[in-house]
Amino acid sequence: MVAEVGVELSDIEAIQQFSTTPRGNEVIMTNPEFAAREQQYEMLATQHGGYWQHEFIDHAYLYNLYFPPQRFFDQITSQLRELVLNYPVAQGVLAEMVGELIDQLPERIVVGNGAAELIKIVSSHIANTLIVPVPSFNEYVNAAPAGKVVEFNLDAPSFHLDVDKFAAAAARCQADVAVVVTPNNPTSLLVPKADLVRLLGKLAEIDCMLIIDESFIDFTEEPEQTTLESDIAQYSNLAIFKSMSKAYGICGLRIGYMLSANTAFTDKVRQGLSIWNLNGFAEAFLRHAPEYRDEFKVSCTKVKADRDLFYQDLCTIKGLSVYKPDANFIFCRLPANAPTGPEVARQLFIDQHIYIKHCAGKTMPDRSRYLRIASRSADENKRLVIALAKIVAVEMPEIVPHVFDRKRF
């Protein structure tokens, strides 16, 4: 039955033998290694990175495994001495380089040390009242002072954003900045472009800026038709945020940007930046990035292909509700009789050295019942499916993959 989802029996045997010792009918880990992994798991919860130093499979962080290409690393290596010894360029040149990459005017661009720097500036220093649909990326709320954020609850189980209700809530709380992440994190669900355009109109009536976070837009089916970047000049109350870490696979370089035709808003954000907010390695990436446009598109296509197969395989796990993803990660609700999300995440790490994110830290009903799982290579995805099925279901049956139909709600 497992082979029906493209997983070989040899894969199962390899997982069962991975750092374990048999006891009766169970497969358990030796005590010293169990204790070490338990300690490591607790440490990772607060480390927020540096995972490459530890030997585990990272299904938690959400980035493109197939980019940048090797020749970029060769270029960086050849320039290593100069990049270390010299000051990097400042904001004006950075904006020009991003502008060349995305075909936009540099005066509309603010480049941040990751999108997190820009989020911090807006949430903590510019917005008087910020409204955010939840669950979503926690940083928008976490970066804001107490009492300055309104959380708009998305209705379970669809987690669909009703833009009319959201606009009405923004009006009631007199929000001056609203945020929509699309595709959303952790749900991996896209907000239709037509809905966002309608929302822009409604928010303009109450003088409210709309930040649309498009960090995962390149993993949607038709990113060129889905993004609002090409329409930026039409909406004075629109700002697009994008973390380049996700799509470009450059988490360690820390590059993000904001795009807006609202000059007053971009000026306020720039005022919150330091002179040299990106280092020379990030500058080098931006300088060379236009050379890799073709490779980038190919890499995103491969990410989507792996994700789609991963989705199909996850759908075969009995009782698991799997949301059809628009990004490079998948949102799941655990069966009622399964362990909780934190318990599942902990067991996967300790037993199989696979690290995923549970959603117990998100603002949502039954949050301990949900998982967010990043798609990786086809082989790594298969291994996770087998391991997860052993925890949450008795078997992986021969069934037609269950599709979580958001249109039903």
Tell whether 235 and 102 lie within a shared domain.
Answer: yes
Residues 378, 312 share a domain? yes
Of 292, 324, 355, which residue constitutes the final position of a domain? 292
**167 and 141: one domain?**
yes
> In angstroms, rounded to a whole number, what is the distance separating the alpha carbons of residues 96 and 140?
27
Tokens for 33, please give them.
Answer: 């290694």
Q: Are residues 104 and 230 in the same domain?
A: yes
**262 and 287 both lie in a single domain:** yes
The rounded distance, in Å, linking the Cα atoms of 176 and 159 is: 24
Which among 292, 310, 335 is the end of a domain? 292
- In this prediction, residue 28 has a pLDDT band, given cuts at 50, 70 and 90, of low
For residues 259 and 237, is the Cβ–Cβ distance under 8 A?
Answer: no
Do both 9 and 158 map to the same domain? no
Q: Are both 81 and 62 inside the same structural domain?
A: no
* Tokens read off for 403: 């599709």
Same domain, 181 and 315: no
Sign of CA dihedral 118, 162, 371, 332: negative
Same domain, 159 and 241: yes
**Which of 292, 320, 340 is the last residue before a domain boundary?**
292
Tokens 């992986």 sit on residue: 396
**385 and 15 in contact (C-beta within 8 Å)?**
no
Alpha helices in 129-258 (DSSP H): 139-142, 163-172, 193-204, 223-226, 244-248
Q: What's the CATH code of the domain at 257?
A: 3.40.640.10
Do residues 86 and 189 share a domain?
A: yes
Confidence at residue 51, expressed as pLDDT on a 0 to 100 scale: 85
The C-alpha atoms of residue 318 and residue 401 are separated, in whole angstroms, by 10
pLDDT band per the 50, 70, 90 thresholds, residue 44: confident
- The enclosing domain of 394 has a CATH number of 3.90.1150.10
Distance (Å, rounded) from C-alpha 284 to C-alpha 67? 15
Cα dist. 134→120, 140, 141, 160, 206 in Å?
A: 18, 10, 10, 11, 22
Token pair in block for residue 67: 């980019």
Quote the domain boundaries for residue 361: 2-66+294-408
pLDDT tens readout for residues 245-301: 999 999 999 999 999 999 999 999 999 999 999 999 999 999 999 999 999 999 999
Q: pTM score, two decimals? A: 0.88
Same domain, 325 and 371: yes
